[in-house]
Structure 1
Amino acid sequence: MPNTLNPFELIARRWQPSARFVERAALATVVMAVVIVVTGGAVRLTESGLGCSTWPQCTPDSLTPTAEMGIHGLIEFGNRLLTYVLCAFIGLFIVAARARAPRRHSLTRLGWAQFWIVMGNAVWGGIVVLTGLNPYLVAAHFLLTSALLTVCVLSWQRAKEGDGEPRDLVSPAVRQLSWVLVVAVAALTVIGTVVTGTGPHAGDAHKVHRIPLDWQEVTQLHVDFVYIVVGLTVALFFTLRAVKAPPAPRRAALALFAALAFQGVVGYVQYFLSLPTLVVGLHMFGSTLVWIAVLRVFLTLRDRGPVPAAPDAPVDDEAAEARPAATTAA
């Protein structure tokens, strides 16, 4: 009896995607993760968090919103439907990574990690609705989406590099500084969710429980951490210049500084204009840019060799020789 092929093997026998296609599929998941963050923010900012009163259905008697629910039901249900679009892009990345030869188990594992994070966050979102937008659960919902964005960025980076043992391009001290920067941005993000949980945009027009902290004091703590992150970014950039790091990390540090500058301007505008919804939405978008940028800074500080070539593809010796050499520890 012949061996039964699974669907992925059947696809791999008939389709051989290029390395560029796999990379773009990975980038598409990053874009969709950002879209989910922004549209999730739109649900809260338009007071549509309870537009669908239950989960997994929209109402106890209907899977979809009814005319009586108005625009809030459409916005909340539309955000739920985007989860399926996100899963479609993740599925494309998994299939492309699985079909390409030689098979890279690291990429397919990252793709499945994305899928299960989305599934877990969908259930968590349902719990958020069933608990009436509990602010602690809402904060965790956003952080789970940030975890998804992290895996998507890592998948994108891994799709552009090989599977060799990571080689540092800078000294261990510089790597440690980049670690501190990543942790500082993560802390900044967590504090931002607390600001949201204490602020006026609760997600629904009716009274919703808020985190019992002073909003202005939490906001000031958030601003303090912004200054810490900006200082660490400037320090890392000049350190990279001093140690003559490759161009990619220095460009990534500049991109992070630009994202922080954009986020800082938007943050001050929203504060002095009493948190207009559009500007708050831009601030949420800016938070994704900052997180992507800091992850790219960290990931460009090591090299894992070129992308494995397909069995029938010529080896580009010149491109391999042009890759930056690892820097020995100081």
Structure 2
Amino acid sequence: MRLPVPESAPLDDAGSRWLRRLFWLNLIVEIGIVLTGGLVRLSGSGLGCPDWPECVSGSLTPVAHQAQTWHKYVEFSNRMLTSVVSIVAVALLVGIILDMRRGSGRKHLWQPVVLILVGIAVQAVVGGISVLMKLNPVIVATHFLASMVLVSASAWLVWRSYEGDGRATPIIRHEVRWLALATSAACAVVLVLGTMTTGAGPHSGDAKEPARLHIAVRTIAWLHADSVMLFCGLVVAMLLCCVLVASEPLPKRAWTLVLIITILQGALGYTQYFLGVPATLVEFHMLGATLLVVAVTWGVLSLRRRD
């Protein structure tokens, strides 16, 4: 299946292909740090470094006498990956500045890059607060949801690299565009209820002092499942609209991808629930969530064209 990205490619000149590769790298590392953060939580290593910004009082790095045993290395490794994400984001900024100095005039790439840079700074603060508050599940959920915003912004940047800098022109009826926004809102609800389900479940992030939401897991899990059913129905409606009224094939490809990921995510979610939420399946479910955010972002963007 071809990636559902615009056919126009203003960065295809030899001097600028590296910039698009950098955009893809940024998307990959943003997804990657979500997964490593998941590993921290699922391995009970959330307080492997019990202090912040230090790992332990008096040291930025783990020390041998820490009580957290191997958990400290898991958490510290995830913190180091934040540095990688930051370096890539700064490289994005430098790359765009150099590209504009070459006279490309691609000013349209500034917005997602600024959002990514600001988001990374906010994420660092929220991550520190989550440690200082002993993995309060509300703060941890906020940390994850902020990561989803960064993944969406990174997907937006990749998409914009395939577009021109002209005025956005809708290629489908405005009613369908409103339906797409409603579908995006439903996706956000699915993510919020998903984080609440995790916060009420066994994977709190700390092996010794679990911090959980005081909600019945069965109740919140079924609410999450109900929101997924609503979202799936909206995705099917979007795909039908794209097949019937879209003037170009791109929206159909984009929303087909959304539907495929949604079905796989739903199947994985039910499987992990009935198997007692094993950590491995939860990690794959988190990967699916990031890919779903990318697909929905592209689905919404596919409904207009920039030349």
Shift of 1:17: 7.1
Task: Work out the CA distance in 1 between the residues paired with 2:130 and 2:299.
Answer: 33
Q: Which residue number corresponds to residue 200 of structure 2?
A: 198
Does residue 49 of structure 1 match 2:46?
yes
* 8 A Cα contact 2:107 2:165, kept in partner: no
Does residue 252 of structure 1 match 2:254?
yes
Shift of 1:252: 0.7
1:119 aligned to 99, 118, 121, which one? 121
Q: Which residue number corresponds to residue 285 of structure 1?
A: 287
Counterpart residue identity of residue 78, structure 1: S
Q: Which residue number corresponds to residue 311 of structure 1?
A: none
Q: How does 1:208-227 map to 2 (within 5 A)?
A: 208-227=210-229
- TM-score, normalisation: structure 2: 0.91
* 8 A Cα contact 1:188 1:225, kept in partner: yes
Counterpart residue identity of residue 164, structure 1: G
SS at match of 2:128: helix
Q: How big is each residue's C-alpha offset from its partner over 1:157-209, in whole Å with a ceiling of 9 and x where there is no partner? A: 11111221110010101111111111110111011111111111110112233
Q: How big is each residue's C-alpha offset from its partner over 1:108-151, in whole Å with a ceiling of 9 and x where there is no partner? A: 34223212211111111011000100011001111111111121
1:184 aligned to 186, 194, 197, which one? 186
* 8 A Cα contact 1:19 1:159, kept in partner: no
* 8 A Cα contact 1:97 1:103, kept in partner: no
SS at match of 1:70: coil
Aligned-residue CA RMSD (Å): 1.4
Task: Work out the CA distance in 2 between the residues paired with 1:105 and 1:17.
Answer: 19
Task: Work out the CA distance in 1 between the residues paired with 2:305 and 2:163.
Answer: 8
Quote the sequence identity (%).
Answer: 37
Task: Work out the CA distance in 2 between the residues paired with 1:135 and 1:213.
Answer: 11
SS at match of 1:67: coil
Of residues 22-31 and 120-129 in structure 1, the stretch that sits farther from structure 2 once superposed is 22-31
Q: Which residue number corresponds to residue 75 of structure 2?
A: 76
* 8 A Cα contact 1:170 1:301, kept in partner: yes
Task: Work out the CA distance in 1 between the residues paired with 2:193 and 2:93.
Answer: 33
Counterpart residue identity of residue 45, structure 2: S
SS at match of 1:164: coil
Structure 2: runs of 5 or more not aligned: 1-12
Does residue 28 of structure 1 match 2:28?
no
Counterpart residue identity of residue 82, structure 1: L
Task: Work out the CA distance in 1 between the residues paired with 2:211 and 2:290.
Answer: 26
Q: How big is each residue's C-alpha offset from its partner over 1:64-94, in whole Å with a ceiling of 9 and x where there is no partner? A: 1123442210110000000111112212222
Shift of 1:106: 3.2
2:296 aligned to 290, 294, 297, which one? 294
Aligned residues: 290
- TM-score, normalisation: structure 1: 0.85
* 8 A Cα contact 1:132 1:208, kept in partner: no
Task: Work out the CA distance in 1 between the residues paired with 2:111 and 2:240.
Answer: 36
Task: Work out the CA distance in 2 between the residues paired with 1:53 and 1:250.
Answer: 48
Q: How does 1:227-238 map to 2 (within 5 A)?
A: 227-238=229-240
Larger Rg: 1
Shift of 1:258: 1.1
* 8 A Cα contact 2:89 2:113, kept in partner: yes
| Higher RCO (CA-CA < 8 Å; seq separation 6+) | 2
Task: Work out the CA distance in 1 between the residues paired with 2:15 and 2:218.
Answer: 51
* 8 A Cα contact 1:45 1:277, kept in partner: yes
Counterpart residue identity of residue 94, structure 1: L
Does residue 169 of structure 1 match 2:178?
no
Q: Which residue number corresponds to residue 60 of structure 2?
A: 63
